[in-house]
Structure 1
Amino acid sequence: MRQETGRLAYEAGRAAEGAVERIYARAGRQIIARRWRGPAGEIDLVARDGAEIIFIEVKASRTHAEAAQHLSAQQMGRIYRSASAFLAGEPLGQLTPVRFDVALVNGAGEIEILENAFAA
């Protein structure tokens, strides 16, 4: 039973990421990495918009509010550290313009994208 629940959660996460990816692609942003694994953890999607790199964290739950609650400060720190490693491979390195988006997916499959969500 537990393996089945884990498999279903994995597949739901993949479906949510695919739906978010299609939104970015339709907006003309090139997806350059999926489930990119850095030293501190995974980044769900990485997109390029001109010179800017967009790191996208996808959160799915019954409601958008519940999905947003699943993103912790600790997880944001891990995403920052992995993003820094990703930028090491970019021509401008740490000087590359970046933004961190969060895509919230509710139980009905509706998507709300919070651009620059990590900004203070």
Structure 2
Amino acid sequence: MKGSDAEHLAAQFLQRQHLILIEKNYRCRFGEIDLIMRDDTVLVFVEVRMRSNNSFGGAAASITTTKQGKLIRAARHYLIQLNVVPACRFDVVLLTGTHNPEIRWIKNAFGE
């Protein structure tokens, strides 16, 4: 499974949880945000991670403090473009397995 497939599965999963997709693969000089979604009035920046198994800590272990910093800076860049700054949070969607992966959603996984 490719990263784009994992992001597509994650977006579908979150939409079934009533989140609204705003943007996929937002890129700027600070990094990339896989999914930007809205959960009621909250803007949600979503990092999607996929691993074939849970060896070496699995997908969650791959979200280092360095990666979190890049996501936060990219989110700030995105927010500067808006006229209004909504309530925000950072969620993580972890996919484990290659065929019919297990999906785990961590709301408010990290912040500033």
Same fold (TM over 0.5): yes
The residue type paired with residue 45 of structure 1 is L
Number of equivalent positions: 108
- Whichever of the two has the greater Rg, that structure is 1
Q: Which residue of the partner structure matches residue 85 of structure 1?
A: 77
Whole-Å separation in 2 of the counterparts to 1:89 and 1:26? 28
Q: Which residue of the partner structure matches residue 10 of structure 2?
A: 20
Q: Residues 28-82 of structure 1, C-alpha deviation per residue, up to 9 Å, x if partnerless? A: 2111110100221000000012321000000111235411111111010000000
Q: For 2:44, which of 26, 50, 54 is the aligned residue? A: 54
Which of the two has greater helix per residue? Answer: 1
Which of the two has greater strand per residue? Answer: 2
Whole-Å separation in 1 of the counterparts to 2:41 and 2:29? 24
TM-score (norm: length of structure 1): 0.82
Q: Runs of 5+ in structure 1 lacking a partner? A: 1-10
Whole-Å separation in 2 of the counterparts to 1:33 and 1:70? 23
What's the CA shift for 1:27?
1.8
Q: Runs of 5+ in structure 2 lacking a partner? A: none
Q: Percent identity?
A: 31
Structure 1 runs (4+) deviating above 4 angstroms are: none
Q: Alpha carbon RMSD of aligned pairs, Å?
A: 1.6
The residue type paired with residue 35 of structure 1 is N
Question: Any idea what SS the aligned residue of 1:78 has?
Answer: helix
Q: Which residue of the partner structure matches residue 93 of structure 2?
A: 103
TM-score (norm: length of structure 2): 0.87
Whole-Å separation in 1 of the counterparts to 2:111 and 2:22? 22
